[in-house]
Structure 1
């Protein structure tokens, strides 16, 4: 299935196996007895999940669900070894952790905060899942402490950490371990502290959600005429570094095709205006990919922006207002591959109330936004009062 996403009526749920001495499990999900929409149980929820593994987020209608845990490969009709009821909040996210030792096994719901980190930072928490560490101190070199005295089977709060390569130091009693990690700007990260197979501790870096390294501000000027005052885009050091780290190699987008909107156009990289707003290519026939964000097909919200018109003629994204949910968008990449997205919704909003969090906020899967102008034309500004944003999810 495609990447999960939450909205005002759904929430996100995933399953984590954090019990060191518990064998692999199957996890089934059904509506709680109080009722609710049907949800098919099965491996697509979590099948043969082993220690240290975390399933992907699944989007579910908000409400209560009964969770059943059985040894991997067990007949689904067999009574579960462990069960619980979990609430899935509208617009929120939960990790349901199988935690503790086998003798004291528990299902623990953990609230996940997937809101955007500040520019240039990652937001990090620690999940203590190593039975050999009764308490745990976790420190980032040249950075903040992430946990102090954290008990086994507990979680820390979230901490803002400067983005980039770092060393995480784990201390439990007299024992210490140093583990290198790379914390990308704009990511929400869970550090799973686990018992290493050969003894000692190890860390698994789990990227929960991804946002652009630098978030644009305000609406996008993507229509009008050459009489409008020129704006000078900038590619700041932060944007340039993020573009190199996130899209180096053949994953770069080179073309976008949207049959239902009549779009078949080249794609080039774009940055920010001096105001911090997203800029669009000077060529009205070309779409611009925001290079400080994820490349299309990678986790996070990839963003393409283009003009709706120019000097009275239709431009690259003139037909976006014709799109409806289910319409297909294809992005061709420099390596000859393509990724396909399906439209979820099309939103028009005033530029002075641009939905920044919805467009650029962290998401757990690969998503796409197409942005252009719409609404009433303002002759004084030489552009339109609104922006049109197409939200889409990866389907192949």
Structure 2
């Protein structure tokens, strides 16, 4: 039988240099959730994480811009609610998006705002896969609005027509250096991936002013989440607890162009 790779530690995509070591073990009853903003034309938001049915947030992330992924948050098993509000909106105001995520023991999940502004949804992604001996797992997440359809050439994966806001399953590949390439109607990009056996990787396809860009993230190694998970691309973030004065911004991909937008209306997904 192939081993079941489950995420069991804390990761952050940070602006500092990346350390390829795994974090501490989780208790068997714990699971993990990370949060992401992957809608290119949606402005920065404040993200809240609640225990199901509770009004006081467990976590608040301020001014989360396009391209941001939070650290994994260690949570007990059960149901939780993720809500997004316009940046600096009152915590008591209606969220523009909300969804629930059920955390299972040893499980890990990414809750991501994905799609275009007018149709943005919160999607819950399962960050786990079965891997054979000496294999790594690679998946690709399409977050480029300028290139709504992508062709992907990756280790163990040849795919035509990956659509905007879509994500592949983890595909198995031999350990070692491999090159991932994506091609859209308005550009292409490639990235060398130093794949390690027993590790899982997510590669996010992003819009940049100069064209397509690839953000490879080392999700898991040896069955544990890797802290500071980006392979070679720095992104910053400050996860602020409700009891502290929140930082005014995340040091992320350039989100200044999005700041002029105002999130309007209410859209709720479940």
Superposition TM-score, scaled by structure 1 size: 0.48
Query: What are the superposed Cα offsets for residues 220-274 of structure 1, whole Å, 9 maximum, x if unpaired?
Result: xxxxxxxxxxxxxxxxxxxxxxxxxxxxxxxxxxxxxxxxxxxxxxxxxxxxxxx
Query: What are the superposed Cα offsets for residues 113-138 of structure 1, whole Å, 9 maximum, x if unpaired?
Result: 155x4343321101111112222121
Residue 47, structure 1, aligned to residue 69, structure 2: no
Q: Which residue of 2 aligns with 1:139?
A: 153
- Tell me how large the CA RMSD over aligned residues is: 2.5
- Runs of 5+ unmatched residues, structure 2: 1-8, 11-22, 228-270
Q: Decide which of 43, 51, 74 is 1:31's aligned counterpart.
A: 51
Give 1:56-71 correspondences, 5 Å limit.
56-71=71-86
Q: Decide which of 212, 221, 244 is 1:201's aligned counterpart.
A: 212
Any conservation in 1 of the 2:146–2:186 contact (CA below 8 Å)? no
Distance 1:126 1:80, change over 3 A: same
Q: Which has the larger radius of gyration?
A: 1
Q: Decide which of 69, 88, 109 is 2:103's aligned counterpart.
A: 88
Tell me, in whole angstroms, the C-alpha distance in 2 between the residues paired with 1:182 and 1:112: 19
- The SS at the match of 2:219 is strand
Any conservation in 2 of the 1:25–1:49 contact (CA below 8 Å)? yes
Residue 155, structure 1, aligned to residue 167, structure 2: yes
- The SS at the match of 1:26 is strand
Any conservation in 2 of the 1:119–1:185 contact (CA below 8 Å)? yes
Any conservation in 2 of the 1:15–1:54 contact (CA below 8 Å)? yes
Any conservation in 2 of the 1:147–1:156 contact (CA below 8 Å)? no
Question: Which region of structure 1 is more displaced relative to structure 2, 117-126 or 13-22?
Answer: 117-126
Tell me, in whole angstroms, the C-alpha distance in 2 between the residues paired with 1:4 and 1:30: 24
Once the two structures are TM-superposed, the CA of residue 151 in structure 1 deviates from its matched residue by 1.0
Once the two structures are TM-superposed, the CA of residue 59 in structure 1 deviates from its matched residue by 1.4
Q: Which has the higher helix share?
A: 1
- The SS at the match of 1:103 is helix
Residue 74, structure 1, aligned to residue 94, structure 2: no
Give 1:278-317 correspondences, 5 Å limit.
none
Tell me, in whole angstroms, the C-alpha distance in 2 between the residues paired with 1:24 and 1:4: 31
Tell me, in whole angstroms, the C-alpha distance in 1 between the residues paired with 2:186 and 2:120: 27
Tell me, in whole angstroms, the C-alpha distance in 1 between the residues paired with 2:48 and 2:189: 36
Tell me, in whole angstroms, the C-alpha distance in 2 between the residues paired with 1:185 and 1:48: 36
Corresponding residue pairs, total: 207
Tell me, in whole angstroms, the C-alpha distance in 2 between the residues paired with 1:39 and 1:112: 27
Superposition TM-score, scaled by structure 2 size: 0.68
Once the two structures are TM-superposed, the CA of residue 23 in structure 1 deviates from its matched residue by 1.8
Larger RCO: 1 or 2 (CA < 8 Å, sep 6+) = 2
Tell me, in whole angstroms, the C-alpha distance in 1 between the residues paired with 2:187 and 2:94: 41
